[in-house]
Amino acid sequence: MAWSTRFLTAVAFLAVGVIFAPDVLGSGPESPAAVVTAAKLCHLLAFATSWGTALWVTFIGGIIMFKNLPRHQFGNLQGKMFPAYFMVLSVCAAVSVAAFAYLHPWSLASPIERYQLGFLLSALGFDLSNLIVFTPMTIEMMKKRHKIERDLGIGEEVGGSKNLEVAKTNPQLAAMNKKFGMIHGLSSLANIMAFGSLAIHSWYLAGKLHF
């Protein structure tokens, strides 16, 4: 995923540049109408993609997979899917920040527009923290826990786990559960916070629609 990492880095720098040096890209009320429309389209598509992706993975797809796949198979699939998931969310968040900052330069933005930019930046920050920090740590801990569970003959059950029952008599598994639970909890919290930031922004966008 080296190409996507480079693309994300470029878009993130663009987003920061638009926020702090909008005049360089000609941002402001004098911007050409076609450029303004293109920025609005980029923001809308990026926001819609991140919102829909987060909604599906967090509340629908992940739950269905958990209930129907052997637990280790589910974990391994999540380990492959989540880096791509958070890469997509991070790229979309960076595009949204760049487009919104272009349309509403900080020096000219109203308080509500500045708050919205803050929410978009928060979503980007939470997604990046998952992509760069929490997800790699969670995957590493998951692999270590899987090895311990395989040695104990558990982990292939579907849905409910035998882990907690076995951990009562196995200090090594209990300690690994604690570490995994902490890192996974932080990852889940960051994901929910990013989703909440997008939810707040969706309310703002809904107020701008005219039917």
CA dist 61 and 73 (Å) reads 15
Q: Which one-letter amino acid corresponds to residue 95?
A: V
Task: Judge whether 41 and 120 are in contact, CB under 8 Å.
Answer: no
CA dist 179 and 196 (Å) reads 26
Instruction: For residue 42, give every residue at least 6 positions away whose Cβ sits within 8 Å of its Cβ, in sequence order, or none.
Output: 95, 98, 99
**pLDDT for 37:** 85
**pLDDT for 137:** 96
Q: Is the pLDDT of residue 14 over 60?
A: yes
**pLDDT for 19:** 62
**pLDDT for 7:** 65
Question: φ, ψ for residue 143 (rounded to 5)?
Answer: -65, -40
pLDDT, mean of residues 171-198: 96
How do residues 51-94 score in pLDDT, each as one tens digit?
999 999 999 999 999 999 999 999 999 999 999 999 999 989 98
CA dist 36 and 60 (Å) reads 35
Among the residue ranges 18-32, 128-142, 159-173, the one predicted with the least confidence is 18-32
What is the token pair recorded at 100? 């919104």
**pLDDT for 20:** 57
Which of 4-8, 50-54, 164-168 is modeled with the greatest confidence?
Answer: 50-54
pTM: 0.86
For residue 79, count CB atoms less than 10 angstroms from its CB and return exposed for 0-12, middle for 13-18, buried for 19 or more: middle
What is the token pair recorded at 32? 């050409």
**pLDDT for 209:** 86
Q: Is the pLDDT of residue 147 over 90?
A: yes
**pLDDT for 2:** 59
**pLDDT for 106:** 84
Q: What angle do CA 1, 186, 120 make, to 5 degrees?
A: 65
Q: Which one-letter amino acid corresponds to residue 54?
A: A
**Torsion sign (Cα): 87, 49, 117, 27:** positive
At residue 169 the predicted structure's pLDDT band, cuts being 50, 70 and 90, is very high
Closest CA to 172 of 192, 206, 195, 144: 144
**pLDDT for 98:** 87
Rg (alpha carbons) of the chain, rounded to whole number = 21
Task: Give the chain's mean pLDDT.
Answer: 88
**CB-CB neighbours of 92 under 10 Å:** 27
Which of 116-120, 152-156, 164-168 is modeled with the greatest confidence?
Answer: 116-120
